[in-house]
Amino acid sequence: MSVIVVVGSQWGDEGKGKIVDLLSQDADIVARYQGGANAGHTIVIDGKQYILHLIPSGILSRDVICIIGNGVVIDPVALMDEIKMLEKHGISVKGRLFISHKAHLIMPYHKMLDEASEKENGKAIGTTGRGIGPAYIDKFKRTGIRIVDLLDRKILEAKLRANLDEKNTYLQKIYGHEELDIDSIVKTYLEFDKLIDPYIKDINLMLNDAIASGKKIFVEGAQGALLDVDHGTYPFVTSSNPTSGGACTGLGIPPTSISKIVGVVKAYTTRVGNGPFPTEQLNEVGEQLRTTGVEFGSTTGRPRRCGWLDLVALKYSVMINGISEIAITKLDVLDKFDEIKLCTKYSVNNKEINYFPADCPTLENVTPIYETLPGWNKSLKGINKFSELPVNTIKYLKRIEEYTGAKITIVSVSPDREDTIILD
């Protein structure tokens, strides 16, 4: 029995796609447990770039079964575009991609409400406008529309009519949008049902059968732990649980089935959207990290905020996720720095603390306290053995291990699948 959870350990964009793609070459199943098409996994294989938003990264490994769990909210347009993109590249998903019949659907009004509320909000969260938050709101209001509802036109129409009575009021009277037409939405989604019918399955049963038979399973979330709706920098968070605990509810698997949790960590820190970011560098350092690391969102194209690696935040993430192993990505982005800084404490109200504050007002006012390490000033590309890394690179990695208590087992030295050092 082997279920390995791969989580983003920071504010997302850590390179989970590459790590899951790499690990999935030795997997039977890769499953996605939360989020929606607001996330993007960029994977480079032999110089060719693939950007995935909903389909698990394992789809690029031949014969691997991929699952989209009940915890994911699905945008039909994004899903079909992704399937077409993969097929265009000669990657077939038929017989390899399965979607939970319990997964909730993103409706046109979810996107409209997302965009409108972000504009009206006095303190914008910085969402992607993809309708993720409003879809999760309906899910927890128990008014959401699930894939299984597409099987019965009467049920679909009844649910849509009840929802549109409310949504049209919001859209018209508060945001000034035109009224949505129920008949056109029903027609569109029934057509979508025909297209995705071959992919729909009881994935809870499928996964638990696979666990019982000893299959090797990797499960991945979207975003990062510090964007978790419960444990992240609330309210500047996503609308679901990308932490490891979300894997169980998002896929219907028991906690006892999980054998290991791997945290993916960028060698520095980035954040998209608003919210506290103690180590952000609004200077030449931040610009160098952004330019060298090509730090622009794969979903929105927005420039990412960049800063030094925050070990205080990372240790918090290790704790709440139960991370025992770390995969370090984008280490090569630090190749040309003479000095590299690691945040090991915060100062707040003239007092030093070494824990991650739970509230945003406090976190927004902390001052990072750094340790400065010497850079290595050498390209890491092409290095495939840990022992061949520069001495200062190894010192940097060892300090991360020492501080967090988690072992580094994977080191990525370029975006390409092959440029990865496997330690365990």
State the first-to-last Cα distance of the chain, in angstroms, to the nearest integer.
Answer: 19
How far apart are the C-alpha atoms of 66 and 82, rounded to whole Å?
A: 14
Counting beta carbons within 10 angstroms of the beta carbon of residue 129, is it exposed (0 to 12), middle (13 to 18) or buried (19 or more)? middle
Active site residues: 13, 41
How far apart are the C-alpha atoms of 76 and 36, rounded to whole Å?
A: 11
The neighbour count for residue 115, using CB atoms within 10 Å, is 18
How far apart are the C-alpha atoms of 169 and 175, rounded to whole Å?
A: 9
How far apart are the C-alpha atoms of 37 and 35, rounded to whole Å?
A: 7
